[in-house]
Amino acid sequence: MSSQGQASWVVVGLDNGGTSNSATVLDSSGRFLVDELFESPSRVREGPAVAIAALGESLARVLQHTGVPRESVRAVGLGTPGPASADGVICSKGATNFSEPEWHGFDFRAALEGQIDIPVVYNNDGNAAALYAHDSYFGRDAPLRSSVSAIVGTGLGGGVIEAGRVIRGAAGMAGELGHIHIPLQGLLAEDQPVPECNCGLGGDVESIASLTGIEKNLLPYWLERFPGHDLHRAASLAEAARLVRGYGVAEDPLALKIFEQQAMALGRLFTIASNFVDPDAYFVGGGVVEASPEFNQWFLATVRRHTSLRVEQVETVAFALIAHLDMAGARGAALAAVQWLDRT
């Protein structure tokens, strides 16, 4: 930084999604230069070459938008949905957003770096969002704190942060919170079948606490218990699953059953986390808590009620909702790029 406190360099954060890339710029004083969601088409369905070019375009556009010269960019943080290695190689079996064969085993990080000729730092989007949640909640204390974030969307994403940094794991698979088995006794109704996850496990967190879990597992069961319910008239289960949140906000009994089971699943996940990493904070984000303030607080309180902590932990722990989640992927990717610069 110069003597006037002017930022002398920046990093750019790029979050690659199924339809859009989101971009942000973070300057060397720690200030985000983009206040709103800044998006452009991701074109991932057109294959790697088109998608990499689209990310280059996102970079150019966000620099133009903020008036930052390209020479000031020291690094680019990239986030994509997983599964991918810690270095950004897409899983050899592909992934939901990267199903075409050319993506399998594709080195996303290296390809983008080759395209833009700026160092690229990779994190999966769940870890990036967890880093942003951690940093925005703790501020200056972020390097001293730990947290676990669970983000309920189509799947269940998130991450684990220790001393302000993402725990990535040996193979890059740490923080895959959705595929942790949880005890189901007392969570499921007596005659409720064990929920199944797309990963092949029965009764993991994602099989319950995700939009996919609602559609495949929770809604089919609970609809049978509520024969006259409006949602029987939805065009499809997928459509009905998307409508459940609105019913939850209106305190509809069927919807509350579903969200209570989701909150219990997260509470049981956090109970496991409390013994593994004993974090300072637990964060919850995603579509499930993008509802009314009353509903969001009810959901968070229900998660907390189902998290079994020791007395010593209860005294210091925090539970919070992740705000600005739509920008969390890009912002977290940018924060990770700054951490990488600090280390090199």
Site string for Zn ion, 8-47 (x = CB under 5 A): ----------------------------------------
Q: Least distance (Å) from Zn ion to the CB of residue 216? A: 11
Going through 81-187 in order, the beta strands assigned E by DSSP cover: 120-124, 147-152, 156-162, 165-166
Which residues have C-beta within 8 Å of that of residue 304, sequence separation ≥ 6? 267, 282, 319
Q: Least distance (Å) from Zn ion to the CB of residue 276? A: 18
Q: Least distance (Å) from Zn ion to the CB of residue 332? A: 23
Q: Least distance (Å) from Zn ion to the CB of residue 30? A: 36
Site string for Zn ion, 205-244 (x = CB under 5 A): -x--------------------------------------
Of the pair 179, 331, the CB lying nearest Zn ion is at 179
Going through 136-292 in order, the beta strands assigned E by DSSP cover: 147-152, 156-162, 165-166, 281-286
CB 189 within 8 A of CB 226: no
DSSP per-residue codes, 124-142: EHHHHHHHHHHHHHHGGGG
Amino acid at 141: D
Q: Least distance (Å) from Zn ion to the CB of residue 199? A: 3
Site string for Zn ion, 193-212 (x = CB under 5 A): ----x-x-x--x-x------
Of the pair 174, 320, the CB lying nearest Zn ion is at 174
Instruction: Please give the residue whose beta carbon sits closest to Zn ion in the complex.
Output: 197
Of the pair 24, 262, the CB lying nearest Zn ion is at 262
Site string for Zn ion, 132-171 (x = CB under 5 A): ----------------------------------------
| Total residues binding Zn ion (CB under 5 A) | 6
Q: Least distance (Å) from Zn ion to the CB of residue 198? A: 6
Of the pair 121, 197, the CB lying nearest Zn ion is at 197
Q: Does 179 bind Zn ion (CB under 5 A)?
A: yes
| Measured torsion, CA atoms of residues 24, 27, 31, 35, in degrees rounded to the nearest 10 | -30
Amino acid at 133: A
Of the pair 201, 223, the CB lying nearest Zn ion is at 201
CB 137 within 8 A of CB 280: no
- Structure-token pair, residue 79: 């986030």
Going through the chain in order, the beta strands assigned E by DSSP cover: 10-16, 20-27, 39-41, 73-80, 120-124, 147-152, 156-162, 165-166, 281-286, 318-321
Of the pair 189, 199, the CB lying nearest Zn ion is at 199
Which part of the chain contacts Zn ion (CB under 5 A), choosing from 29-37, 85-93, 166-174, 192-200?
Answer: 192-200
Of the pair 202, 246, the CB lying nearest Zn ion is at 202
Of the pair 196, 290, the CB lying nearest Zn ion is at 196
Rounded to whole angstroms, the Cα distance separating 44 from 55 reads: 10
Q: Does 176 bind Zn ion (CB under 5 A)?
A: no
Q: Enumerate the β-bridge partners of residue 13.
A: 24, 77
DSSP H helices in 67-201: 108-116, 125-138
Rounded to whole angstroms, the Cα distance separating 253 from 54 reads: 45
Q: Least distance (Å) from Zn ion to the CB of residue 322? A: 21
Rounded to whole angstroms, the Cα distance separating 4 from 305 reads: 49
* Burial bucket for residue 162 (CB in 10 Å: 0-12, 13-18, 19+): middle
Of the pair 179, 229, the CB lying nearest Zn ion is at 179
Which part of the chain contacts Zn ion (CB under 5 A), choosing from 53-61, 87-95, 177-185, 226-234?
Answer: 177-185
User: Which spans of this chain sit near Zn ion (rule: CB under 5 A)?
Assistant: 179, 197, 199, 201, 204, 206
